[in-house]
Structure 1
Amino acid sequence: MRIDEIPFVTTPLHVAASNGDIEFAIEVMMLKPSFGREGLTPLHFAAEKGDVHLLAGVLSVCPKSFEDVTVRSETALHIALKNNEFEAFEVLVKSLEGINHEDNRFWNKRILNWKEKYGNTVLHLAIYQNQPQVVRCLLKGEVDVNAKNSDGLTALDILLAQTPPGNAELEEMLRGAGASEAYFLPSIDPFARTASKDQRLKKATEQGDLDALYALISEDVYLLEHIDEVPFVDTPLHMAASAGHIQFALEIMRLKPSFVRKLSKHGFTPMHLALQYEQTQMVLRLLDVDRNLARVRGREGKTPLHYVAEKGMVEILFEFLADCPESIRDVTIQRENALHLAVKK
């Protein structure tokens, strides 16, 4: 059996990591990234554990590993700070300064100001953790003191919002480096003042505007991920299915396949909504993509097949049964199959 097909297994990467075979471990991770937990590279692991010797070893073999990020878009710098490994953090910063890279200044600045999933740079994290020593270390480099996170907050905003009041030494350092509150900074996107990201996404979906969708994704690469974290939500796919925007819906399905089975706040999948709004072509295209969508249970355990049987939508009923005959066996929470529902109605 292939190693990666086993859900829990000691892979060659586990063995290499245990033995300290850095080059071998890095090669295995490049060949099979899924062997790394949550996208953790050997550099991330060393930062997490505060192993400064391993950090030095990894960086000597692969200095560009600074660019690698986890599934949460965290660099090794983020991970060291989050785990209170301040010595490891300082080693990483000094190593970053010493790396010879084409356009070294720009590269260092990009790594130092990298934003994780929630838009926090390492300066944001250092303020959250009240670490003057780390902040002082960062201010010596080219850290952006006025970078905003996903909530629109600068490091100074976070400090001033702390209860009890934030560290006076930190405030003095930040202001001395030119830090401002977000309120006093010019807006990068003037349109954001009149329309929130959610409103813009809703408008793009209602119009089936793919260019607007990708413009939003370019601003926030985790846009669809954030939506998927909510257990019951009307996703852009639900809205597109209701409106009959087929190309938009297919693109969303390609970008975020999990949306197609996600339940809205009212307990419906995109397929259920397409049926309710009589978007027949949308229903058939969704079925072309995945025939098993006829079996996805929504509110009260009803599948799309149950819905069409209940509503007497004979043509679509034929399509469902032809593409997914096993769907006839599905029952609701009342133990009713499509036959029961058709007779009842």
Structure 2
Amino acid sequence: MEENLKTAAQNGDINKIYKLLGEDPNVLDCIDDVPFIDTPLHIAASFGHVQFAREIMRLKPSFARKLNQDGFSPMHLALQNGQTKMVLGFLNCESDLARVQGREGKTSLHYVAEQGEVDLLTEFLSACPQSIQDVTIQNETALHIAVKNSHVDALDFLLGGLRRACYRGSDIQERKIINWKDDEGNTVLHIATAMNQSQAVRLLISSKIKVNVKNLMGLTALDLSDPNSGQVRETLLNAGALNAQSLPQVSNNSRDHLRSSLSCKESTAISISRFKKNTSNDTRSVFLVVAVLIITATFQAGLTPPAHVFLDLNFDNSNNNNALDVTLVNTTSRINTTEIQLSKNEGSSKADQLRTLIAFMLSYSYTMLNSATFFSAIMALYSLLPDGEVNKMLSLPLFSFALCFTSFSLYSNPVLFETKMEENLKTAAENGDINMISISLLEDPHLPDRIDHVPFIHTPLHIAAASSCHIQFAKKIIRLKPSFARKLNQEGFSPMHPAFHNDQTKVILGFLDTESELVQSIQDVTIQNETASHIAVKNHKVDSLGFLLGVLHRGYHEDSDIQKRKIINWKDDDGNTVLRVATTMNQRL
């Protein structure tokens, strides 16, 4: 990581981040490309810079799940460094971060259970109750870890979280997790009994755990109990616990499985396996070479789709009087608008339009056939690979590659992305020239996509939004590329931000008319955890506060009653509600 970026993260300097983005818009992407690295979010989490962390997560959400060289995510580091506020901030931003597995498969919940921090356990289970399903590489649940570290209170909280969980399938998961076995076949009851934890044993039995489960050594919990520990043994015996020798013999399910009929899935898998075993190495090598050649050819064809070839075959004929010309016609019925029309030369007919349609259908059919052939060849390649570790390792990459490339081929033609806006489109945005948009798109239909590919860039919409004279231009751009309306430039501003900065009321209303989320926007908070109501009070805007409260009371959005109470009583990073901020400022005055 660049030293400047590291220093900015250590100091929580948000302005420095945007300065670096201005110098290199891809600086965060370069970090994300490294599989295991200390990102700026890791550093900020260790130092407890909550607002900086929120800003980084907003700019690059993938950093929150990334592991460093030690196998830790940003939330792991926040826990290790005692940054409780940071941990709660992570949970508020994205509750599923509680399920990110780090070193040895341990999640943040596992770490909290290991430390016995019951207050944090409550927060984790409230934010993400499903996190209790995760297991370590030792196949241990958070319940196992809590008992192994003699944290009975933590075990009690975890069991309570299981009982109160209401997500889909939670009733099944409750029974499954309570009776989960680790790599040695031990349930939580086995461990609690072996460690002579009488209170933990009582809690587990009251949670209806199976008391007569055997571990890999063929022992039940009662077999592991200390004969001198009368309290634990008495609790187990009262719950119906038995020794392994006293349990009835269970039938062998493997024999029943071999007697059953083959399913369609099993039949297909067996056929492929038999084909591999009955095919000689020489024959398999020939098939592999053919499959690779097909993959190479279809991949190259996918990168250079033939749409322009079909069009050239139909229309690029200088001797043909029926050729179609594309011209721009300014209409008089609407001011500052442009339409693209097809003007026919003498002798043109509907046959020209039919040829256009046929060319499109041929092009798309070709792409479909090429994609299907590519996908089939990838699957054939996988089936021809010999069984073993290599086959298992390549399964996911091959399937993912085939699926991604097939989808990509069907969606669009690949283009080379550039990091700067074309000068002619920039000039068009500065002048509000709608005609230039159409001309630019005719010359290069993928120009908006290239701009959108850059993570942080000043789009034509940013430029147009700064002027009240370019409203029609802005609407045209939004229709062509809706994602521009939400894109941030290197300074962290969307197109609506410069419109506000330059008092372009008409442009702002145009944005809201195009994509209105006015009422829902009252739920948004800043990196200081402040709502719009906090900001209005801090800036002495009583009229604005009255309007915001009026919107809340009218309750135009779904779950408005719940949201109204939540937003009115929302606390910022300092724990201040809007009422407290207003009271404090009144005392100062």
TM-score normalised by structure 2 residue count = 0.31
3-state SS of the aligned residue for 1:21? helix
- Once the two structures are superposed, residues 310-343 of structure 1 have per-residue CA deviations (whole angstroms, 9 ceiling, x without a partner) of xxxxxxxxxxxxxxxxxxxxxxxxxxxxxxxxxx
2-side partners of 1:136 and 1:32: how far apart? 29
- Once the two structures are superposed, residues 234-264 of structure 1 have per-residue CA deviations (whole angstroms, 9 ceiling, x without a partner) of xxxxxxxxxxxxx99833555599xxxxxxx
* Distance change >3 Å, CA 152–CA 27, structure 1 → 2: farther
Which residue number corresponds to residue 96 of structure 1? Answer: 162
- Once the two structures are superposed, residues 118-152 of structure 1 have per-residue CA deviations (whole angstroms, 9 ceiling, x without a partner) of 11111001101101111111111120001111111
Which residue number corresponds to residue 141 of structure 1? Answer: 207
Which residue number corresponds to residue 24 of structure 2? Answer: none
Q: Which runs of 5+ in 1 are unaligned?
A: 193-209, 212-246, 258-345
1:315-326 equivalence runs, <5 A: none
Question: Which of the numbers 59, 71, 78 marks the counterpart of 2:137?
Answer: 71
Question: Which of the numbers 145, 148, 151 marks the counterpart of 2:217?
Answer: 151
**CA positional deviation for 1:95:** 2.2
2-side partners of 1:177 and 1:188: how far apart? 21
Question: Which of the numbers 380, 387, 394 marks the counterpart of 1:250?
Answer: 387
Q: 1:182 corresponds to which letter in structure 2?
A: A
Q: 2:234 corresponds to which letter in structure 1?
A: E
Runs of 4+ in 1 over 6 A off after TM superposition: none
1:1-345 equivalence runs, <5 A: 2=31, 4-6=35-37, 7-8=69-70, 12-14=74-76, 16-17=78-79, 18=83, 19-22=85-88, 24=90, 27=94, 33=100, 36-102=102-168, 104-159=170-225, 162=226, 165-190=227-252, 250-251=387-388, 254=391
Alignment length, in residue pairs?
204
**CA positional deviation for 1:8:** 4.1
**CA positional deviation for 1:40:** 1.4
Worse-matched range after superposition: 8-17 or 167-176: 8-17
- Once the two structures are superposed, residues 186-226 of structure 1 have per-residue CA deviations (whole angstroms, 9 ceiling, x without a partner) of 3335489xxxxxxxxxxxxxxxxx99xxxxxxxxxxxxxxx
2-side partners of 1:31 and 1:42: how far apart? 6
3-state SS of the aligned residue for 1:74? coil
2-side partners of 1:256 and 1:168: how far apart? 51
2-side partners of 1:136 and 1:61: how far apart? 28
1:16–1:22: 8 Å Cα contact kept in structure 2?
Answer: no
2-side partners of 1:112 and 1:185: how far apart? 21
* Distance change >3 Å, CA 147–CA 255, structure 1 → 2: farther
Q: Report sequence identity in percent.
A: 38
3-state SS of the aligned residue for 1:95? helix
What CA RMSD, in Å, does the superposition of the two structures yield over aligned residues? 3.6
Q: 1:60 corresponds to which letter in structure 2?
A: S
* Distance change >3 Å, CA 66–CA 10, structure 1 → 2: closer
- Once the two structures are superposed, residues 247-284 of structure 1 have per-residue CA deviations (whole angstroms, 9 ceiling, x without a partner) of 99833555599xxxxxxxxxxxxxxxxxxxxxxxxxxx
2-side partners of 1:52 and 1:31: how far apart? 15
3-state SS of the aligned residue for 2:207? coil
2-side partners of 1:157 and 1:187: how far apart? 17
- Once the two structures are superposed, residues 39-65 of structure 1 have per-residue CA deviations (whole angstroms, 9 ceiling, x without a partner) of 111211110001001000001100111
* Distance change >3 Å, CA 12–CA 133, structure 1 → 2: closer
2-side partners of 1:169 and 1:72: how far apart? 30
2-side partners of 1:173 and 1:15: how far apart? 40
3-state SS of the aligned residue for 1:147? coil
* Distance change >3 Å, CA 157–CA 33, structure 1 → 2: same
Q: 1:135 corresponds to which letter in structure 2?
A: V
Q: 1:86 corresponds to which letter in structure 2?
A: V
TM-score normalised by structure 1 residue count = 0.50
**CA positional deviation for 1:12:** 3.2
2-side partners of 1:99 and 1:126: how far apart? 24
Q: Which runs of 5+ in 2 are unaligned?
A: 2-30, 38-68, 255-271, 274-383, 395-589
Specify the structure having the higher radius of gyration (Cα).
2
1:77–1:122: 8 Å Cα contact kept in structure 2?
Answer: yes
* Distance change >3 Å, CA 104–CA 11, structure 1 → 2: closer
2-side partners of 1:183 and 1:149: how far apart? 13
3-state SS of the aligned residue for 1:73? coil
3-state SS of the aligned residue for 2:136? coil
